[in-house]
Amino acid sequence: MAEKLPPEFIKELESVCKLHEQAVCNKEKCREFSETLSNLLVSLEDMKYHRTADRLMSILINCSPKEASHCEKATLLGERMKEAVKETLFR
């Protein structure tokens, strides 16, 4: 069962998801995505939303910015981000 996140976390998660879409072929945006997701993860852990934090950790683990190339896992990570957002919206 999904955790009921406060609206500000849902908005942040949606924002991070959109950032990932921009980051697919942009290394700087990719790093920004990674840092933003990491900060959100810390906040979720601090607020005891462990299930959602674990999901985001699994996404972050698979994220590794590449120099001048397309992210090999962009589609997979994009789908996982969308699923995480969808799960929080339809709890």
Per-residue pLDDT reduced to its tens digit, 12-55: 988 988 888 887 777 788 888 889 999 999 999 999 999 989 98
Full residue range of the structural domain in which residue 83 is found: 7-89
Enter the pTM of the model. 0.75
Please give the mean pLDDT across all residues of the chain. Answer: 81
Please tell me the predicted confidence (pLDDT) of residue 66.
62
Is 2 part of any domain?
A: no
Question: Nearest-5° angle of CA 5, CA 80, CA 6?
Answer: 10
Distance CA 23, CA 36 (A): 12
Please tell me the predicted confidence (pLDDT) of residue 59.
84
**Number of domains the chain is built from:** 1
Give percent of the chain above pLDDT 90. Answer: 25
Is 19 part of any domain?
A: yes
Q: How far is CA 28 from each of CA 15, 31, 59, 61, 83, rounded to the nearest angstrom?
A: 16, 5, 18, 18, 24
Is 81 part of any domain?
A: yes
The structure tokens listed for 42 are 């810390």
Please tell me the predicted confidence (pLDDT) of residue 69.
55
Q: Which residue has the higher pLDDT, 58 or 87?
A: 58
Is 65 part of any domain?
A: yes
